Amino acid sequence: MNKIRFLVALGLCSGLVACAAHPDPIVDMKGVNPDRFAQDWADCESDSEQIEIGKGVAKGAGAGGAVGAVGGAIHDDIGRGAATGALIGATRSGLDADREKQQVFKRCLRGRGYKVLN
């Protein structure tokens, strides 16, 4: 039963990280051609999609689980330590991957001459 709870919690964390942490760039639209901007936006969004948040979450869960298991072994609760470590690792890695994805998107827009405000 604990394994099921862990998987559900991991899925929820992954979903939260992917959805809640990805605000759109704010661009100064003064003098911007809306049609060209829409195309550049789509191109930059496509480029940023190359960063796969799910893979980062999975790697973070694995690494966090291993570290948590070691810590749990010290306190005679390997399972709980592994589960806690996996959740923390998954969340942290997902947030890092999302931050990188945002940076790629914004750098792409800036590289095409747009003034990104955030």
Torsion of CA 99, 100, 104, 105, to 10 degrees: -30
What is the C-alpha separation between 98 and 14, in angstroms, rounded? 11
Mean pLDDT of the chain: 75
* Rounded alpha-carbon distances, angstroms, from residue 9 to 3, 13, 42, 69: 10, 6, 32, 18
Look at 104 and 70; give whichever has higher pLDDT: 104
Percent of the chain with pLDDT over 70: 54
The 3-state secondary structure of 76-102, one letter per residue? CCHHHHHHHHHHHHHHHHHHHHHHHHH
The ranges assigned to domains in the chain are: 2-111
Average pLDDT over every residue of 90-97? 74
- Record the pTM: 0.59
Query: Chain centroid to CA 84: how far?
Result: 19
For residue 77, the model assigns a pLDDT of: 61
Tokens of 85: 């470590």
Average pLDDT over every residue of 37-41? 97
